[in-house]
Structure 1
């Protein structure tokens, strides 16, 4: 049985021209503003290091908080191995206060993509000793939950100091997500009472099952160990492209994009055995039917559909408009206005 969709969001990488990065960042902010106007519940930023996409989602979210009033803002996901949990707790606490409590930080752990290529720049003297696993995230969670970060509290001269990270933003800990792609990471997220971000990539882990079956298995395991049980939050992030108001040229380009990525979905990829979900392209009626047959989608009532990386601003306007105006309501969602 499919759960009615209660929350509709979208994910963007925020591409820009390295020779002139301003317009690309401005387009990302305009897309977030449009999302709020269309009634979306959330906008998510993909975090990219040393690429021509958003490298500082905290800064972009801070700007977006001042141009929106309702839409929630998240990261999907920030690789924590490239972050200092102390500083990140300060930054996200500050932006959450600025937003009025609308920030949804999502994380992954382990070595970030291409870590060996830039670890000397990131951690010149300690890269081989850095703890890049779950303990790093546990440090961050403790800090935003009020754990002591210092052994001193009081006044020195005219300055007052706190033992806790400042500002402490009430409720931020309850809005932390984990991007899991394996059974073990889904279980860890559930046991630590995080929300679960599940995307268009999962680990096959030798099962030989299709993507949707594997994703559903991870979601079920997550909820089985989460304190909130069946009410634990899970958001799905497939690439979904409605074509209701698209031009013939756009439809052809969207279909070509999906077709070019289809071969990677037919079998596990690479040494990690990654399973990729096919991109979904079609009318909202067609997409609603395909999602209703998707075992993973049937287990969620929140989504953050991923916008394709390489499209133009006008394409995103069309996709989001159709998503909010046609596809969302077909899935049981009501826009927030």
Structure 2
């Protein structure tokens, strides 16, 4: 288990990639420029949220492919792709293709479960099988199996003059299976991810157990420890597993007076939801962290969840302007990261 005072090893960021529906190209271009800036600043990873039928990135795989051709070092991931919207076989082909284009820098983050507002879209998404679709862990297990290169059919070899067939997903990208992440918000999911050879994405939203006091950082700490215990048990097959924490942090070191005021209003508007469990499952939200890098670093070092990790993917606020993201990322890379013991570009991406 990492020492709470151990220097931060990997620094990443997460963006939703919002766009104006009247000019969606500009928003997508802004996201690509932010990823390029992240590499220039030395970030180790950039992560894309996945949003369907909203004004955010609906095709992060396409965005990762584009970003891979504008960068050379930074890891690029999804946090997360909801598999309820995906065909695992087709997704496996796309992910492997992009991973090869990126030189082995892709980190697919995944989740399972019924798609959000399923009743409103099921007849278009699965017109003939909406009541039969399996949205359980089996769906992500199938994706992992296909990405790993396991045979999926007996047919293979040459047919005719030019047709040649494979019995596995092609192209195959060695090492991609070890870079699959699972976005877990509950202890059950964290344990499952560890036992089944996934890395763990732990974010600013979690679900407590019935017997747990609703204290976000302590619950997150317990989930990470449960993941590591399960991952250690299965390490002979899959390896020990990585853990990344994602909180919203907004450093203000170089922000203008107007930016600081807007940032604080944003945080204050979102703060009430963090005061008590939300919804039937008692969902807990972590408070956003805003202030100078020294102030944020002090809060993070006292955060029980942060004490468990040496990788982070700090989430950018949803609705800010491009210039705001440039300022926030620059402050994270030049001031907050070093305050947490991180060295810009010091580790690069893991070699498979």
Q: TM-score range by the shorter chain?
A: over 0.9
Partner of residue 319 from structure 1, selected from 324, 328, 336: 328
Partner of residue 55 from structure 2, selected from 44, 52, 55: 52
Deviates more, 1:205-214 or 1:127-136: 205-214
| 2:35 corresponds to 1:26 | no
| 2:213 corresponds to 1:204 | no
Counterpart-to-counterpart distance in 1, 2:249 and 2:116: 25
Normalised by the length of structure 1, the TM-score is 0.98
| 2:279 corresponds to 1:264 | no
| 2:310 corresponds to 1:306 | no
- Report how many residues are paired: 337
For structure 1, the 5+ residue unaligned runs are none
Partner-residue secondary structure (3-state), 1:226: helix
What's 2:173 paired with? 169
Superposed, 1:279-290 pairs within 5 Å as: 279-290=288-299
Deviates more, 1:142-151 or 1:287-296: 142-151
Deviates more, 1:259-268 or 1:202-211: 202-211
Partner-residue secondary structure (3-state), 1:252: helix
Counterpart-to-counterpart distance in 1, 2:170 and 2:250: 41
Partner of residue 42 from structure 2, selected from 36, 39, 42: 39
| 2:230 corresponds to 1:225 | yes
What's 1:131 paired with? 134
What's 1:215 paired with? 220
| 2:32 corresponds to 1:5 | no
Q: CA deviation at 1:209?
A: 2.9
What's 1:151 paired with? 154
Q: CA deviation at 1:193?
A: 1.4
Answer yes or no: is the 8 Å Cα contact 1:2–1:299 preserved in 2: no
Answer yes or no: is the 8 Å Cα contact 2:274–2:286 preserved in 1: yes
Partner-residue secondary structure (3-state), 1:197: strand
Q: Give the ranges of 4+ consecutive aligned residues of structure 1 lying more than 4 Å apart after TM superposition.
A: 228-231
Partner-residue secondary structure (3-state), 2:253: coil
Q: CA deviation at 1:231?
A: 5.1
Deviates more, 1:151-160 or 1:269-278: 151-160
Normalised by the length of structure 2, the TM-score is 0.94
Aligned CA RMSD, in angstroms, stands at: 1.2
Deviations, residues 228-247 of structure 1 (Å, cap 9, x unaligned): 49953100000001000000
Counterpart-to-counterpart distance in 1, 2:150 and 2:329: 40
For structure 2, the 5+ residue unaligned runs are 347-352
Answer yes or no: is the 8 Å Cα contact 2:246–2:313 preserved in 1: yes
Answer yes or no: is the 8 Å Cα contact 1:3–1:299 preserved in 2: no
Partner-residue secondary structure (3-state), 2:130: coil
Answer yes or no: is the 8 Å Cα contact 1:190–1:226 preserved in 2: yes
